[in-house]
Amino acid sequence: MTQPQPLIFDIKRYSINDGPGIRLTIFFKGCPLSCRWCHNPESLSMRTQKLYTRSKCIGCGECVKACQNQACLLGKGGIVTDAERCQVCGACAEACPSLATEMSGRSYSVAELMGIIEKEIPFFDQSGGGVTFSGGEPLMHTPFLLELLNACGEQQIHRAVDTSGYGKTTDLVAIAEQADLFLFDLKLMDAERHREFTGVDNSLILDNLKALATTGVQIEIRVPLIAGLNDDRQNLEQMATFVAQLPGPRPTLSFLPFHNIAENKYPKLGQIYDVSEMAVPGTERLQQAVDICADHGLIASVGG
């Protein structure tokens, strides 16, 4: 049965941080979390969104002319979109000569995506790479994802799934049967702080990680390490203790140091990027995180 097509907001070639070898990473739109530091704010919504970059705008007014709904207005500060009137049709983006206006989110069929994936097979074969399904949250599109994973599996393409772990346990276990590797995010062990900074409780995520570990699938735990948020000894000790006690093969851990490359993305969506409580962790803290894991018999590293 053909599954409903989710929206994809990016397809990244030659990725080297999303699993082994050279990878093609496919980013789904839609996420049940809203992490304050999110590097992909365009991934949160399931819907197509209009992005506007003021610095690229040459003030030509082509977008205003193209809009049939009088939703696109040119003022002194650049383009303003009337959200009530905007139908997110994309005509303004098509008309824009400078890519100041773009649309984020496009649907693809499984066949279309497989066409794109198959072109990368020579790179996968040479490098031991494959395809990584990321987001957003791929678990929000499980039936479609399963079709894709199955199609990749038929061609012996290595398949990784990058997840927040926040989804139905039955979906996660079904996906584990079709995936070769999970990149599983762990952020904060304290439930209240997890809710405060991501919008959701972490109990489902921790339960799902246990369930996933039981399947025996290869898991790499990914920890976005953020000074002032989760780089304290208590959080890291709790995390290492939890991971060391998981059933099945021992996951590895990767600490991904916080960076603020997303700060330019938020204004494009008309949003504010508030990371005032967060900072890049120092090398000592990164080393401490790796050492704490080693004390628990875990293999950890810095970077993806």
Number of residues that bind ligand SF4 (CB under 6 A): 28
Nearer to ligand SF4, 46 or 89 (CB): 89
For ligand SF4, which residue of 100, 148, 226, 286 counts as binding (CB under 6 A)? 100
* Residue 212, Cβ density class (10 Å: 0-12 exposed, 13-18 middle, ≥19 buried): buried
When asked if residue 206 is in the footprint of ligand SF4 (CB under 6 A), the reply is: no
For ligand SF4, which residue of 101, 132, 134, 230 counts as binding (CB under 6 A)? 101
State which amino acid sits at residue 87: Q
Give the Cα separation of 251 and 298 in Å (integer): 8
Nearer to ligand SF4, 98 or 214 (CB): 98
When asked if residue 7 is in the footprint of ligand SF4 (CB under 6 A), the reply is: no
When asked if residue 104 is in the footprint of ligand SF4 (CB under 6 A), the reply is: no
When asked if residue 145 is in the footprint of ligand SF4 (CB under 6 A), the reply is: no
Q: Which stretch binds ligand SF4 (CB under 6 A): 71-79, 144-152, 167-175, 182-190?
A: 71-79
Q: In whole angstroms, how close is the CB of 271 to ligand SF4 at the nearest point?
A: 17
If DSSP codes are grouped into helix, strand and coil, which group holds residue 72? strand
For ligand SF4, which residue of 22, 67, 151, 189 counts as binding (CB under 6 A)? 67
Phi and psi at residue 73, to the nearest 5°: -125, 135
When asked if residue 60 is in the footprint of ligand SF4 (CB under 6 A), the reply is: yes
CB 14 within 8 A of CB 126: no
Strands 7-15 vs 23-28: parallel, antiparallel or unpaired: antiparallel
When asked if residue 95 is in the footprint of ligand SF4 (CB under 6 A), the reply is: yes
Give the Cα separation of 11 and 18 in Å (integer): 12
Residue from 179, 254, 236 nearest 212 by CA = 179
For ligand SF4, which residue of 8, 33, 71, 183 counts as binding (CB under 6 A)? 71
Q: How many Cα atoms occupy the beta-carbon half-sphere of 193 within 13 Å?
A: 12
Q: In whole angstroms, how close is the CB of 265 to ligand SF4 at the nearest point?
A: 17
DSSP-assigned beta bridge partners for residue 160: 132, 181
Residue from 181, 149, 189, 144 nearest 162 by CA = 181
The contact set with ligand SF4 (CB under 6 A) reads: 50, 57-63, 66-67, 69, 71-72, 74, 79, 81, 86-92, 95-96, 98, 100-101
